[in-house]
Chains A and B, each alone.
Chain A
Amino acid sequence: MNDIPEGELRIESENDIVAARKVVRRTATAMGFGITDVTRIVTAASELSRNVYQYAHFGTMRWRFLNEEAGVGLELVFEDSGPGISDIGEAMRAGFSTSRGLGLGLPGVKRLMDAMTVQSQVGRGTTVKVRKWLRRSYAAAITSGGDPPQG
């Protein structure tokens, strides 16, 4: 893979949502993800970068090619120092439909990806990490349906 295996993008305007989609599309396609998975990953990136812009006004998206024991995949990390989420459990439960665009849309994003972790502190900021596996190792696939807890 000659495409950039990792990088960082600043999210500070509406245009950066489109920029995030473009870089994620290019990276996921270069890694060999199929069209449906590329669409899922790009859509997740769009939702999460919009959350950063909408709630925190600025932040970053980092992307990273994963090649580890668990498998080969793509990781996206969205970080901001915005207002934070007071009840992550609630944010993950609330409202199946995100079509009103009022919720954070986190449950929907989780369904599109293989793993998601959310860390947040009120007044300090939010970090959302998502992963999609291109190939999972056999051992990882049978021991967990999701992601091992991240530090």
Chain B
Amino acid sequence: MAHEDISVIRLRDLLLVTVPPDPDDQTISVLQERVLDAMARQDCRGLVLDISTVQILDSFFARTVAETVQMVSLMGGRTVLAGMRASVAITATQLGLTMGKALTALDVDRAFDLLGALPPKGDGYE
């Protein structure tokens, strides 16, 4: 899996990252780094992780996502996991995985709606 496959796109004031279908551990770690780097450099209020093509979500992946959600949160942003496949949701639940405090949405479009509708962090929302 080539790391160049991962692009962090800024759309309005949100970051959009599409996770590849079968990422190895290294790719997942690189993805986390790039996301945090982009959060720091750009004035963004949140992150949308498009996982609609992801075929497998194991404990390493889940832990890294949960960590990323927590780190983005410390930097003042919110994370939405968008488009998890039914087979992946079933497997992740049976395996006992949790994604930390990630918000979820059926697809990227709804994820943008969700973040757009939320007041900025530090505005007494939490």
- What is A's interface to B at a CB cutoff of 8 Å? 14-15, 17-18, 21-22, 25, 35-36, 38-40, 42-43, 46-47, 50, 96-101, 105, 107-109, 111-112
Give the A-B contact count at a CB cut-off of 8 A.
80
Q: A17-B25, A22-B22, A25-B55 are in contact. List 19 more A-B contacts (CB 8 A).
A: A14-B25, A18-B1, A18-B22, A39-B85, A39-B90, A39-B91, A40-B94, A42-B55, A43-B57, A50-B58, A97-B97, A98-B95, A99-B59, A99-B66, A99-B99, A105-B95, A107-B96, A108-B59, A109-B95
- How far, in angstroms, from A99 to B62 measured CA to CA in the complex? 6
CB-CB < 8 A to B66: which residues of A? 99
- How far, in angstroms, from A98 to B92 measured CA to CA in the complex? 10
- What is B's interface to A at a CB cutoff of 8 Å? 1, 22, 24-26, 55-60, 62-63, 66, 85-88, 90-91, 94-99
Q: Tell me, rounded to whole Å, the shortest Cβ–Cβ distance linking B94 to chain A.
A: 5
CB-CB < 8 A to A14: which residues of B? 24-26
Q: Which secondary structure dominates where chain A touches chain B?
A: helix
Is there contact, CB below 8 Å, between B95 and A108? yes
With known contacts A14-B24, A36-B86, A108–B94 Cβ distance under 8 A: yes
With known contacts A35-B87, A43-B91, A96-B96, A21–B22 Cβ distance under 8 A: yes
